Chain A
Amino acid sequence: MTGSFRTASGGTRIDRSRTLTFTFDGTTYTAHPGDTLASALLAHGVRVVAQGPYTGRPRGVYSTGAEEPNAFVQVESGPGEPMVRATRLEVHDGLRASSLSGRGRLVDAPDTGRYDKVYAHCDVLVIGAGTAGRAAALAAVAAGARVIVADDRPGIGIEASGELTVLPRTTVTGHYDHGYFVAVERRTDHLGDAAPARTARRRLWHVRARRVVLATGALERPVLFPDNDRPGIMLAGAAAAYVRRYGVLPGRRAVVFGAHDGALQAALDLLDAGVEIACVTDVRASTGPLGDRLRERGVTVLEGRAVTGTESGPDGILTDARIGGDIVPCDLLAVSGGWNPDLHLFTQAGGRTRWSAEHAAFIPGAPPRVPIDVVGSARGIPGEAAEHLPEGADGLVFVDLHRDATLAGVRDALQAGMTSNEHVKRYTTIGTGADQGRTSGVPASGALARLLGRAPGEIGTTTQRPPVEPIPFAVLAGRDRGDLLAPARRTPMHGWHEEHGALFEDVGEWKRPRYYPRPGESMDDAVLRECRTARARVAALDASTLGKIDVQGPDAAAFLDRIYTGRISTLAPGRCRYGVMCGTDGMIFDDGVAARLAPGRFHLTTTSGNAARVLDWLEEWLQTEWPELRVRCTSVTDQWAVVALAGPRSRDVLTALAPGLDVAAFPFMATREAEVAGLPARVFRISYSGELAYEINVPSWHGLALWEAVMAAGEPHGIAPYGTETMHVLRAEKGYIVAGQDTDGTVTPHDAGLGWAVKAAGGWVGHRSLHRPDTARADRKRLVGLRPRDPAVVLAEGAQLVAEPPPAEITHPVPMLGHVTSSYRGTVGSFALALLKGGDEREGETLYAVDSGRADAVTVTSPVHYDREGARRDGDG
């Protein structure tokens, strides 16, 4: 098949004054602006554009739009893209594409294109800008509404203005709850190399619409017959559209096969366009006035007869249609079985379709429970169509071309006992492809109905779910990638940490320095050095990430007594207390320090990653259970930058920085306001390391100044910055837990060795749970310490504890006694914390920590590995 199939004139969508060049499967072709890859290939007589994914049979262009089941191609030029419909791929200069067999290839190179998202709101979203959609949009605009019109075609015959937003090349892919829509706009693909670099290639629209107008039109469906997949076989309406829109003849000699008037009209259109009509055959007994018009123009019209097969040349391309015993030579077989309203977005939201004999289609039935109007041919195109199912014929009858699934497969599904179309869909894969079964769904339902002897309405259609077409991940990601993937919360000292070589770790959304390696140091080296500095001299930690909540009001103390396991109301102003928070189930979910600043005012600290959750928790109780309590909570996490100063020399450093502060009269678990480094500060004497320690709070904008002053003042004492890894080692050596690491929502304060922090009188929200039979069990897992027998081993966190080393061959379940929650190499050597059944009753026992196929012998110890007497708290004298 050679020579041009482009007509001498005509084509509403193309600009004949300009010529573009593109490449398909290595051959260069010409096209006009406005051409799709499909129309341009048809214009050059290129019939084979793909292969069936399983059969390998050659396939050609079948449709003009989103319903295309065959012509999926790989775009090789530009950023490249798999599985693009040739029927929607606009040709631009330099386009390179290649054929596929139902599966694309992911592009290896990173996609450096720009993708973005926009949130939009409107009174009316009109989907589809055909005649009905445009009319609905203009009427809504005239009524004063804010309107968005989206259509997946490049040209929409409607201009944006005032409150009318027009989105061409935009596919609405999903209809979600409460008028929420997602749409993909293709903004620069059609420009090729001329695309502006700063313009997002595609845009994901999130549209919230008060009302939606579905003007999505109707899609033609085929009639089934044997060997119905050869290149040259095409939907009849599409064949006519290629002539009208692109001035392209999809063939020179056509057989038109239909089951309704639409096929006859397409035959007339093709005839007008200069296509020779070899014959028209209609499965109906009568073709009515349209048939008469065709006969008047000399066309052979067969009634009550069907195409029963096709022939091809060695290249697989259509050469003849068989109609019973007749063999009719043709290079185009245009088929049409009726029109299906495109109701994906109607049913996605919960709308139901119903079979209408008057339309021979599933049309809108019970609407979804959202304001929705269906207009135009999406309501159904009136006109009866005959049902037709080839019986016992030779050759393959393809129901789903995209999936290479056949009528025989449907019969097999019935043989296997399936009668529901949903089951048949899953058994046969019909309708599960990237084309969402637009050309196969209704024929499959029809076939099923016929084979089961039921009405199509009883079978129904399968459930349609978003998205209506595949969306590249890059589009979904938009700009939320790389540095912008998620917020990185920075402390005021972040830049200093970077400049001083800190390696960071993520703690919640925060970036925290993990350790500060010096040249040549491994992580272990650096952490051990930082630990020793803190234990022997003084070290500083950026603790700005601690959650901080200001709680005040006349009932604040009473409120906190109900929230913390311990008693807060007896705290004197200026003093602090460690506090544990549990849920009503009695399980730890956070811990921190409560400081009483004034009789009716407290400053709470929370775990870094838990600040918002704790604030929500406080507000929940205040608002929903105890609105009578006069208490107000304010987040001050970002207000304060915090430097934690730990080590026996920390008092000397603080004295140098705050000459006005009487450090001698500053007891443990107390707080003072002071000028530190000339800055207004609040200092807490609390310790998370067991050493003499202070936490200095200043307004965040002074955080860097404070940090630099601390480092300078500490220099004579050998100060070093330390990171979260050292912080963990220091606290774990003291047996201090991290809520969320050493606890997991199943650990009570007693389990964690914090029974001392629970007031006997109760009165807090989860108190009653500590007296449930389960929480009172003797064999609960409780916090213990572990020492690996081999001091060179650092146990894996999460390692399971068992009583015996696991045998080489495991023949029966091995009872798990607990697991390692924290494990480090610290100043005391290798050690761990663990939750263990029986807890301290097992102290001295040897157990085995099993992880990834290795078992290490461990000795159970107290969780406190360092300074059990608490002598270091006040320094080294």
Chain B
Amino acid sequence: MTAMAEGSAPRSAVAHLAPDLPDRPGGAVRLREVAFPAQVELRLDDEDATAFGPRAGQFLCCGMPAPGHAAGAGDPYVLWLGPGWYLAVDRPGSAYGLLAGLRDALGADCGGMCGSAVDVSAARTVLELSGPSARAVLAHGCLLDLHPRTFGPGRCAQTVLAQAQVVLHQTGAADYRLLVRTSYADHLVRWLLDAMTEYV
């Protein structure tokens, strides 16, 4: 019985919607899922952030992001979620090393950790929305001002989109990542597909 499920591939929360995603290069707006990235939520106590933040950043090779920002160009990257609260994201399958490295950086090796590091790889999935109309699509539900004067590549924010809590991360001039809880992913993707009606 065990053999049957062994090695069974993980299944994305929006796998059933994959055929509907507009992913044509050069389109006005593209949507694709980057499933199964390793994700670790990191919480640092205020007083220890100065000491342990740099250690964590060193391990991640990208430093820790400033408030409202992301750090890291490729994998891994780190998103600022709140004061002393970060989400480190890396390639699929790397959660174990990511977690262990961050726990070490937080001082787990010397007894008392100064915060927490929790594997949340399966808690959110990553959607990539890009193209010249991506910002316009987001404006149908996102209350944040995403104008280049107030937002832009390298910025990130937790907010609400289509009544779902998301982490919004702008990666390029017209490229956005949306990290959404897996249980909301089906709703958010269907909402995005509908929001794209006038643009695809």
Q: Is A286 an interface residue (CB 8 A)?
A: no
Across the interface, do B116 and A487 meet the contact criterion of CB distance under 8 Å? no
In the complex, number of A-B residue pairs with CB atoms less than 8 Å apart: 153
Q: Are B1 and A712 in contact (CB under 8 A)?
A: yes
With A495-B16, A701-B122: A634-B198 Cβ-Cβ less than 8 Å: no
- Given A146-B147, A510-B183, answer yes or no on A199-B198 (Cβ-Cβ < 8 Å): yes
Q: Is the CB of B1 within 8 A of A700?
A: no
Given A118-B140, A487-B162, A634 and B120 contact (CB-CB distance below 8 Å): yes
Q: Does A577 interact with chain B (Cβ within 8 Å)?
A: no
Q: In the complex, which residues 588-605 of chain A have their Cβ closer than 8 Å to any Cβ of chain B?
A: 600
Enumerate chain A residues within 8 angstroms of B191, measured Cβ to Cβ: 479, 484
Across-interface contacts of A702 in B (CB, < 8 A): 8, 10-11, 122
With most chain B CB atoms within 10 A of its CB, the pick from A199, A658, A675, A704 is A704
- Nearest B residue to A196, CB-CB: B198
> B24 within 8 Å of A by Cβ?
no
Assess A677 versus B1: contact at CB under 8 Å? Given A479-B195, A638-B183: yes
Known: A634-B116, A699-B122. A119 touches B183 (CB 8 A): no
- Nearest-neighbour CB distance to chain A for B120, whole angstroms, equals 5
A677-B3 Cα distance, complex, nearest whole Å: 7
Taking the closest CB of chain B, its distance from the CB of A785, in whole angstroms, is 35
| Closest A residue to B197 using CB positions | A198
Bound: A224/B196 CA distance, A: 53
A656-B145 contact in complex given A198-B197, A553-B116, C-beta closer than 8 Å: no
In contact, A486 and B163 (Cβ under 8 angstroms): yes
Smallest CB gap from A144: residue in B = B149
Cα A700 to Cα B143 in complex, Å, equals 29
| Given A491-B183, A638-B181, A639-B123, A657 and B1 contact (CB-CB distance below 8 Å) | yes
Q: Cβ of A550 and Cβ of B183 under 8 Å apart?
A: no
Complex: how many Å from CA A640 to CA B12? 13
Complex contacts, B162 vs chain A, CB 8 Å: 484, 487
A121 at the interface (CB under 8 A from B): yes
Min distance, Cβ A354 to any Cβ of chain B, angstroms: 36
CA distance in complex: A659, B2 (Å): 8
Contact of A712 among B4, B113, B140, B141 (CB under 8 A): B4
Chain A residues closer than 8 Å to B5, beta-carbon distance: 677-679, 705-706, 708-709
Q: Bound state CA distance, A122 and B143, in angstroms?
A: 13
- Chain B residues within 8 Å of chain A by Cβ, number: 55
> B139 in the interface, Cβ–Cβ < 8 Å?
yes
Which of A114, A200, A553, A700 is within 8 Å of B182, CB to CB? A700
Collect the chain A residues with CB atoms within 8 Å of residue B11's CB.
492, 701-705
Instruction: Say how far A112's CB is from chain B's closest CB, in angstroms.
Output: 14
Chain B residues closer than 8 Å to A636, beta-carbon distance = 118, 120, 123
* A480-517 residues at the B interface, CB under 8 angstroms: 483-484, 486-492, 494-495, 510
Contact status B190-A484, CB under 8 Å: yes
Q: B8–A705 contact, CB under 8 A?
A: yes
Q: Least Cβ distance of B197 to chain A in Å?
A: 5
Cα–Cα distance between A117 and B145 once the two chains are bound (Å): 15
In the complex, the answer to whether B141 meets A117 with C-beta atoms within 8 Å is yes
For the complex, what is the distance from the CA of A636 to the CA of B121, rounded to whole Å?
10
User: In A638-697, which residues have CB < 8 Å from any B CB?
Assistant: 638-640, 656-659, 675, 677-679
- Does A78 interact with chain B (Cβ within 8 Å)? no
Q: Using an 8 Å CB-CB cutoff, how does the interface string of B60-104 with A read, 1 for contact, 0 for none?
A: 000000000000000000000000000000000000000000000
Contacts of A544 in B (CB 8 A): 183
Task: Say yes or no: B8 contacts A632, CB within 8 Å.
Answer: no
Closest Cβ neighbor of A715 among chain B residues: B1
Contacts A200-B198, A490-B186, A492-B13: A119 and B118 contacting too (C-beta < 8 A)? Answer: no
Do residues B1 and A640 form an inter-chain contact, with CB atoms below 8 A? no
The answer to whether A208 has its CB under 8 Å from any CB of chain B is yes
Q: Is B30 part of the binding interface, using a Cβ–Cβ cutoff of 8 Å?
A: no
Closest to A479 in B: B194
Point out the residues of chain A lying under 8 angstroms from B141, CB to CB.
117, 119
- A552 near B: Cβ within 8 Å? yes
Query: Chain B's nearest CB lies how many Å from the CB of A570?
Result: 21
Q: Are B112 and A677 in contact (CB under 8 A)?
A: no
Q: Does B109 contact A (CB under 8 A)?
A: no
Interface membership of B23, Cβ < 8 A: no
Q: Is the CB of A713 within 8 A of B1?
A: yes
A199–B36 Cα distance when bound, in Å, is: 35
Chain B: minimal CB distance from A492 (Å): 6
Q: Shortest beta-carbon distance, B179 to chain A, in Å?
A: 11
Contact indicator B124/A119 (Cβ below 8 Å) = no
A454, CB-defined interface residue at 8 Å: no
Residues of B within 8 A of A470 (CB): none
Chief secondary structure at chain B's binding surface: loop
B184–A114 touching, CB < 8 Å = no
Is the CB–CB distance between A634 and B41 below 8 Å? yes
In the complex, what residues of B have CB within 8 A of residue A139's CB?
Answer: none
B41 neighbours in A (Cβ, 8 Å): 634
Chain A residues whose C-beta falls within 8 Å of the C-beta of B197 in the assembled complex: 114, 198
Please determine whether B43 and A632 come into contact, CB atoms closer than 8 angstroms: yes
Known: A634-B116, A699-B122. A487 touches B187 (CB 8 A): yes
- CB within 8 Å of B: which of A199-225? 199-200, 206, 208
Q: Given the known A-B contacts A479-B195, A492-B13, are A634 and B118 also in contact in the complex, defined by CB atoms under 8 Å?
A: yes
CB distance from B168 to the nearest CB of A (A): 13
Report chain A residues within 8 Å CB of B143: 119, 206
Q: How far is the CA of A677 from the CA of B121 in the complex (A)?
A: 20
Tell me how far the C-beta of A843 lies from the nearest C-beta in chain B, rounded to whole angstroms. 43
Q: Cβ of B154 < 8 Å from any Cβ of A? A: no
Least CB separation from B191: chain A residue = A484
Alpha-carbon gap, A91 to B111, bound state (A):
78
A120 at the interface (CB under 8 A from B): yes
Is A304's beta carbon under 8 Å from chain B?
A: no
CB of B174 closer than 8 Å to a CB of A: no
Is there an interface contact between B140 and A121, defined as CB atoms closer than 8 Å?
Answer: no
Q: Bound state CA distance, A675 and B6, in angstroms?
A: 10
Asked if A252 is at the interface (CB within 8 A of a chain B CB), the reply is no
Q: Chain A residues with Cβ under 8 A from B123's Cβ? A: 635-639, 700
* B-contact 0/1 string along A419-448, CB 8 Å cutoff: 000000000000000000000000000000
Whether B22 is near chain A, meaning CB under 8 Å from some CB there, is no
In the complex, A351→B45 CA distance in Å?
46
CA distance A53 to B91 in the complex (A): 69
Q: Mark B132-160, 1 if CB is under 8 A from A, else 0.
A: 00000001111101010110000000000
Let me know if A116 is at the binding interface, CB within 8 A. Answer: yes
Q: A554 near B: Cβ within 8 Å?
A: yes
Is residue A518 within 8 Å, beta carbon to beta carbon, of the partner chain?
no
Q: Find B140's partner among A117, A486, A554, A638 (CB 8 Å cutoff).
A: A117
Q: In the assembled complex, which residues on chain A have CB atoms less than 8 Å from the CB atom of B16?
A: 495
Q: Contacts A479-B140, A679-B5 known; A484 to B194 CB distance under 8 Å?
A: yes
From A118, A198, A700, name the one whose CB has the most chain B CB atoms within 10 angstroms.
Answer: A700
State which residues 44-69 of B face A: CB under 8 Å.
45
Chain A residue nearest to B39 in the complex (CB): A639
Q: What residues on B are CB-neighbors of A639 within 8 Å?
A: 119-123
Contacting residue for A121 out of B120, B145, B183, CB 8 A: B145
Listed by A's residue number, 8 A-B pairs whose Cβ atoms lie within 8 Å are: A116-B195, A121-B147, A484-B194, A491-B183, A544-B183, A600-B113, A706-B5, A712-B4
Which residue numbers of B lie inside 8 Å of A, CB to CB? 1-8, 10-13, 16, 35-36, 41, 43, 45, 112-116, 118-124, 139-143, 145, 147, 149-150, 162-164, 181-184, 186-188, 190-191, 194-195, 197-198
10 nearest A-B residue pairs (beta carbon): A678-B6, A701-B10, A699-B122, A632-B116, A489-B183, A121-B145, A677-B5, A639-B123, A632-B43, A638-B123
Query: A interface vs B, CB < 8 Å?
Result: 114, 116-121, 146, 198-200, 206, 208, 479, 483-484, 486-492, 494-495, 510, 544-545, 550, 552-554, 600, 630, 632, 634-640, 656-659, 675, 677-679, 699-706, 708-709, 712-713
Q: Given A632-B43, A675-B2, A700-B182, list of 15 further CB < 8 A pairs?
A: A121-B147, A121-B150, A487-B163, A490-B183, A550-B118, A636-B118, A636-B123, A637-B181, A638-B120, A638-B124, A639-B121, A678-B5, A699-B10, A699-B122, A700-B13
